Amino acid sequence: MGNLDLVAIIVIAANVIISFKGFNDLNFFNRYKFNVGGIRRGEKIRMFSAGFLHVDTMHLFFNMFTFYFFAPIVIYHLGTLNFLIIYIASLILGNLLSLYFHKDEYHYSAVGASGAVTGILYSAILLQPDMQLGFMFIPLPIPAYAFGILYLLYSIYGMKKQLGNIGHDAHFGGAIGGYVVTLILLPSLFQTDLIMVALLAVPIVILFLMHKMGKL
């Protein structure tokens, strides 16, 4: 995945610059982080700006490392402009889902590009589902589509159990953004990869049904 498009480099640079500004300026960090109370007071910029702030350098590195590997796939298949549309749509949708699930938690806050990056990840999986993903803690590579499905199922579990200090809902919302926008931009996938399109929709349908039944 070596050569990054200029726009992808700019996205990484924006995340690094804004995150480091936040590391060194608490007032800046608090003014632009995702915060339910602030958003409900009309500070809508937080829905976007929070996606460029991070808790620490490890949080920033992990998101940008994932982005580095999957952004080129989306750009190769859909082009730079469509890649940017997916990134921004996933960022916003991730925060919208977070706001929906935490709308009554006035002090709930979050930061990170995870929603946008998960959208790019899920888009890349939809575009190239047969690629193999390897992880240090898993001895054998696994198909990308299996990872995508398992990751979102874990996100549902994390949302239900409120596991860790992780925005599982933002991750899930970002993945929905990547999935839906990719299909809008490339509807031919319904003809060429209908089974994969249906498989990757399974966690989204499960989330919808669980919410309808009051289990989330």
The pLDDT of residue 140: 73
Distance CA 196, CA 192 (A): 9
What global pTM score does this model have? 0.92
162: left (phi over 0), alpha (psi -120 to 50) or beta: left
Q: How many CB atoms lie within 10 A of CB 61?
A: 12
Distance CA 46, CA 59 (A): 19
- What is the pLDDT tens value at each position of the chain, 216 positions in all? 446 889 999 999 999 999 999 999 999 999 999 999 999 999 999 999 999 999 999 999 999 999 999 999 999 999 999 999 999 999 999 999 999 998 989 999 999 999 999 999 999 999 998 898 876 566 678 888 898 899 889 888 888 877 656 778 888 999 999 999 999 999 999 999 999 999 999 999 999 899 888 887
SS3 110: strand
Q: What is the CA radius of gyration of the chain?
A: 17
Beta bridge partners of 5: none
The token duo for 65 is 């490392």
Distance of CA 180 to the CA centre of its chain: 13
